[in-house]
């Protein structure tokens, strides 16, 4: 059986009837889900980072350098950087999509935000790994 | 009727009379404190995003050596540096607290107005408390 556009229809069930009950679309929720996952990760990581910084404030360079070189701090810093910049480009990207109405400016800003997030994350990764190496 | 937009707002009452339907509540209804807080969540998110530049600068300087680290330390101790740090601390804790409420809302809880009234006060109180606490620890 074919519809007016010549498309073959295998079943008499409507598209809605077939889609119902299958759960949320798979990759369609990726943005929403990553925003939540990264926010959950950032709850403890932010507490730890701010706590650490308040204790490093005013201490000499060698102390701060030694702190950043400890393996546990290296791991947590890398996790913090990954979660922060993933959360950041998702969030700022949505703000750009909501408030910039000229399409090409909007696309440019969204791409620029993603590029800046990626470059900042990479710079921070390299710095932390260098600190880890001593 | 002089404007085409007026034609879109003509409705019928149940007895069949044609009437001009009212405008939606629009801004007079929707501007309230919770809306400002929602906008604040986005604004603080963007402010923290700018702040990450200094976080990366701090880490890169720490890895680059004593001299570079002295530069970032000097900047953060200027009046502008302190102002930025204080602003970012407050923005961070605000975004943190509102974010927790968003995660609770995602589970379908605390959507009713009395709960929103309570959580609003908790968020503002916790933001102030965490900001003050952060600076008390940092400066002690």
pLDDT over 60 (residue B38)? yes
Shortest Cα–Cα distance, B107 to chain A (Å) = 12
B138/A contact by beta carbon, under 8 A: yes
B27/A contact by beta carbon, under 8 A: no
* Stretch (H or E) spanning B124: helix B113-139
Among residues A68, A66, A88, the alpha carbon closest in space to that of A78 is found at A68
Determine, for residues A68 and B59 on separate chains, whether the beta-carbon distance falls below 8 Å.
yes
pLDDT over 80 (residue B3)? no
Domain ranges for chain A: 29-132
Distance separating alpha carbons of residues B85 and B12, to the nearest angstrom: 59
The confidence score (pLDDT) of residue A34 equals 95
**Per-residue confidence in pLDDT tens, chain A, 134 aa:** 455 666 666 667 777 887 787 776 677 788 999 999 999 999 999 999 999 999 998 889 999 999 999 999 999 999 999 999 999 999 999 999 999 999 999 999 999 999 999 999 999 999 999 999 97
The confidence score (pLDDT) of residue A10 equals 64
Express as a percent the part of chain B with pLDDT over 70: 93
Q: Is B115 exposed, middle or buried (0-12, 13-18, 19+ CB in 10 A)?
A: middle
CB-nearest to A54 from B62, B70, B134 is B134
The confidence score (pLDDT) of residue A47 equals 97
CA angle A68, A66, A43 (to 5 degrees): 30
Distance separating alpha carbons of residues A86 and B89, to the nearest angstrom: 20
Residue B102 has, within 13 A of its CA and on its CB side, a CA count of: 18
**Torsion angles phi and psi, residue B11, rounded to 5:** -130, 175
Determine, for residues A39 and B99 on separate chains, whether the beta-carbon distance falls below 8 Å.
yes
The confidence score (pLDDT) of residue B82 equals 96
Q: What is the mean pLDDT of residues B1-14?
A: 76
Higher-confidence residue: B31 or A71? A71
What does the block give as tokens for A114?
């993603």
Inter-CA distances, A31 with A38, B45, B52, B117, Å: 11, 17, 21, 29
Burial B50-61 (b: 16+ CB within 10 A, else e): ebbebbbbbbbb
Shortest Cα–Cα distance, B12 to chain A (Å) = 33
pLDDT over 90 (residue B28)? no
Higher-confidence residue: A47 or B20? A47
**Torsion angles phi and psi, residue B31, rounded to 5:** -75, 105
Q: Is B45 exposed, middle or buried (0-12, 13-18, 19+ CB in 10 A)?
A: buried
B67/A contact by beta carbon, under 8 A: no
Spatial contact of A121 and A81, defined as CB atoms under 8 Å apart: yes
Determine, for residues B138 and A92 on separate chains, whether the beta-carbon distance falls below 8 Å.
no
Closest residue, chain B, to A95 (C-alpha): B42
Distance separating alpha carbons of residues B125 and B131, to the nearest angstrom: 10
DSSP string, A23-49: -S-TGGGHHHHHHHHHHHHHHHHHHHH
pLDDT over 60 (residue B56)? yes
Which residues in B lie closer than 8 A to residue A91 (C-beta atoms)? Answer: 42, 45, 49
Look up the pTM and report it. 0.82
B69/A contact by beta carbon, under 8 A: yes
Q: What is the mean pLDDT of residues B43-61?
A: 97
CATH of domain A29-132: 1.20.1300.10
B106/A contact by beta carbon, under 8 A: yes
Determine, for residues A130 and B63 on separate chains, whether the beta-carbon distance falls below 8 Å.
yes
Determine, for residues A57 and B103 on separate chains, whether the beta-carbon distance falls below 8 Å.
no
Spatial contact of A85 and A77, defined as CB atoms under 8 Å apart: no
Distance separating alpha carbons of residues B25 and B70, to the nearest angstrom: 56
3-state helix, strand, coil in chain B (%, to 5): 75, 5, 20
Spatial contact of B37 and B123, defined as CB atoms under 8 Å apart: yes
Domain ranges for chain B: 44-52+79-139
């Amino acid at each position: 059986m074919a519809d007016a556009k010549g498309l073959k229809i295998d079943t008499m069930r409507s598209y809605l009837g077939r889609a119902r009950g299958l759960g949320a679309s798979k990759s369609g929720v990726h943005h929403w889900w990553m925003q939540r996952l990264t926010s959950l990760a950032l709850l403890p990581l932010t507490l730890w980072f701010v706590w650490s910084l308040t204790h490093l404030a005013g201490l000499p360079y060698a102390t701060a350098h030694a702190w950043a070189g400890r393996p546990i701090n290296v791991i947590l810093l890398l996790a913090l950087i990954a979660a922060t910049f993933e959360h950041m480009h998702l969030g700022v990207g949505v703000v750009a999509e909501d408030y910039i109405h000229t399409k090409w400016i909007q696309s440019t800003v969204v791409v620029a935000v993603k590029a800046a997030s990626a470059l900042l994350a990479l710079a921070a990764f390299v710095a932390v790994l260098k600190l880890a190496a001593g | 009727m002089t404007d085409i937009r007026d034609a879109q707002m003509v409705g019928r009452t149940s007895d069949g009379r044609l009437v001009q339907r009212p405008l939606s509540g629009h801004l007079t209804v929707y501007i309230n404190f919770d809306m400002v807080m929602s906008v604040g969540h986005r604004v603080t998110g963007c402010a923290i995003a700018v702040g990450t530049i200094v976080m990366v600068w701090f880490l890169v300087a720490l890895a680059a050596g004593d001299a570079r680290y002295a530069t970032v330390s000097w900047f953060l101790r200027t009046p502008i540096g302190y102002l930025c740090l204080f602003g970012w601390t407050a923005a961070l804790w605000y975004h943190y607290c509102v974010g927790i409420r968003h995660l609770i809302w995602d589970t379908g809880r605390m959507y009713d107005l009395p709960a929103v009234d309570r959580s609003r006060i908790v968020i503002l109180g916790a933001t102030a408390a965490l900001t003050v606490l952060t600076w008390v620890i940092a400066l002690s």
